[in-house]
Amino acid sequence: MHVVRRVLHVLITTAGLVSLTALAPAPASTRITDYAILAEQVTDVAAFVAVHQGLAADALSRDPAVVAAWWQALPERDRLRMPGQMPDVIGNLAGVDYASRDRANRSELASQIAALDELSAHHPLGGVIAERLAALRAIESALGAGGVPRFLLELTTDSPPLAAISIGSLDTARLITFAVPGMGTYTTDMQLWTRAAKNIYDAQTAAGASGHAVVAWVGYRTPPVGIEATRDAYADRGAQLLARDIIALHASRGEGAQPQVNVVAHSYGATTAAKALRADLGVRSFVMLGSAGVDPSIRTATDLKAQFVFSGEAVHDLQARWGRVDRADPGDPSFGALTLPVDGDTDDGLLAVTGHAPIVHSPWNDDPASAAWTKYSDADVRTRLYDNHMVSFGYLDAGTQSLAAVGHATTPPTLRAHHASGSTLTKSFS
């Protein structure tokens, strides 16, 4: 019952904030999201530690290395106990191993869904509460696919929540890629963004990768579609959170073998990730797709702390350039990024990207009987829209030159179990 009360408290608080912010613009100092870093929420560390058996002040450090040292020094019985007893604490604790965070976050996910289901039995849900439940359901569904194991790395109490799901284990993978979304992608879209991450995983497998993992990282509040995507407030906060999560990945390994790390970012996600990569986070390949531009202070690719920097933009992508009104274009030859091919290759049978979307296709929205299409009552309209959908392709859709190129650009030759001989992409990125 305490879980129900805690969830309802968060929802009531969130609903109040939303109703207030609807009346006037938020001040410039307002954080885009409040719940991704536990240390920002706890005002009295001593009191918080006192009511959470096994915690210490080091657990609330902003430095993931300090958290990791505390966690790894705990007796095994405590590391097994705490994810179940305090899932809301352990689930997002940067520095804790990811299997433990997954256990905590899955427990928290189930509790929050149960609490909202109980609430909906007595009161119709609407507004931010309904949106939160929809996001939680989408996260639950994204975790449910078979095949490669999936892990819930993060789950916050924002509305909608922030979340991150990995395809493959971050505790053991030798190659890890963070997929960072752009404007208008929220956890209500978690199934589709996790599909994009799985497509990257499959493209890396096709390029010869093994022992790898890809993170569908909706770990920051993306801007809504529109004018906010030309501003940097969301990117400033997102860069802080992305950097923290990459640092936490390395910290969680302790003295163990470190993975190679990539970042693949779409649209405004490239703006966000570029801000993070002004610092050296140990990133091998940074791939920008349909970039909304990078901060003007980043003058060339050498200002980004990544071994390889790629930029790809479809000839029919008209939205990306709109985001670069006041930002630098990483696709400009003077910037110095490597060009990622995205406009199709008939010799290799690879499709061209047709617009700005990161991903268009999934089993659900490719099914003409799904609600994505049956919601249109006019049969002619429905057929026209569906036919157009089936010939449209995003940067991370299966079968595109873009996705294949991402797979090769983010798979180091030293980690390839085999090479696709004869492929022009293999020759370009080996």
Taking Cα atoms as reference points, which of 231, 200, 142 lies closest to residue 358? Answer: 200
Mean pLDDT across 356-376: 92
Residue with tokens 């005002």: 43
Taking alpha carbons only, the member of 69, 115, 123, 394 closest to residue 264 is 394
Q: What is the per-residue pLDDT for 159?
A: 84
pLDDT at 429: 58
Average pLDDT over residues 12-28: 32
Average pLDDT, the chain: 89
- Is residue 213 within 8 Å of 169, Cβ to Cβ? yes
Confidence band, pLDDT 50/70/90 cuts, at residue 125: confident
**Contact yes or no for 216/301 (Cβ under 8 A):** no
Q: How far is CA 218 from CA 1, 70, 183, 211, in A?
A: 29, 27, 11, 23
* Rounded to 5°, angle at Cα 36 from 32 and 39: 110
DSSP 364-379: TTT-TTSHHHHT---H
pLDDT for the residue numbered 418: 55
Number of C-alpha atoms within 13 angstroms, CB side, residue 309? 22
pLDDT given at position 325: 84
Q: Return the pLDDT at 17.
A: 30
Q: What are the residue ranges spanned by the domains of the chain?
A: 2-359+394-429
Q: What is the pLDDT of residues 30-52, one digit of tens each?
A: 345 667 888 888 889 999 999 99
The predicted structure's pLDDT at residue 301: 97
State pTM to two decimals: 0.90
What is the predicted pLDDT for the residue at 6? Answer: 52
Dist. CA 242–CA 271, nearest whole Å: 12
| 144 pLDDT more than 50 | yes
Please compute the mean of the pLDDT values over residues 146-160 and round it to a whole number.
92
Q: Which helix (H) or strand (E) holds 344?
A: strand 343-345
pLDDT for the residue 22: 28
Helix axes 401-409, 190-206, angle to 10 degrees: 70
Structure-token pair, residue 135: 């996001």
- Give me the percent of the chain exceeding a pLDDT of 90: 75
**Token pair 């289901």 in the structure block, residue:** 117
Residue 304: helix, strand or coil by DSSP? coil
What's the confidence (pLDDT) of residue 308? 98
- Between 4 and 417, the higher pLDDT residue: 417
Task: Name 4's Cβ contacts closer than 8 Å, sequence gap at least 6.
Answer: 114, 115, 118, 119
Residue 396 has pLDDT above 70, yes or no: yes
Tell me, what's the pLDDT at 158?
Answer: 85
Q: Please report the DSSP string for 220-272 in residue order.
A: S-PPPSSGGGGSSHHHHHHHHHHHHHHHHHHHHTTTSPPPEEEEEEETHHHHH
Predicted confidence at residue 180, as pLDDT, reads 98
Extended beta strands in 12-159, E state: 150-155
pLDDT exceeds 80 at position 427: no
User: Is the pLDDT at 374 greater than 70, yes or no?
Assistant: yes
Of 236, 287, 311, 271, the C-alpha closest to 407 is 287
At residue 195, does pLDDT exceed 90?
Answer: yes
How far is it, in rounded angstroms, from Cα 221 to Cα 161? 9
Sequence-separated (6 or more) residues with CB below 8 Å from residue 294:
270, 271, 274, 275, 288, 327, 328, 330
Q: Are 292 and 321 in contact (CB under 8 A)?
A: no
Of 9-13, 99-103, 226-230, 246-250, the one with minimum mean pLDDT is 9-13
* 215-251 per-position pLDDT tens digit: 999 999 999 988 888 889 999 999 999 999 999 999 9
Task: Supply angle C-alpha 193, 366, 191, rounded to 5.
Answer: 20
The second-level CATH assignment, the architecture, of 2-359+394-429 is 3-Layer(aba) Sandwich (3.40)
The angle subtended at Cα 282 by Cα 427 and Cα 234, nearest 5°, is 100
With contact defined as beta carbons under 8 Å apart, do 402 and 348 qualify?
no
Q: In the prediction, which pLDDT does 33 show? A: 64
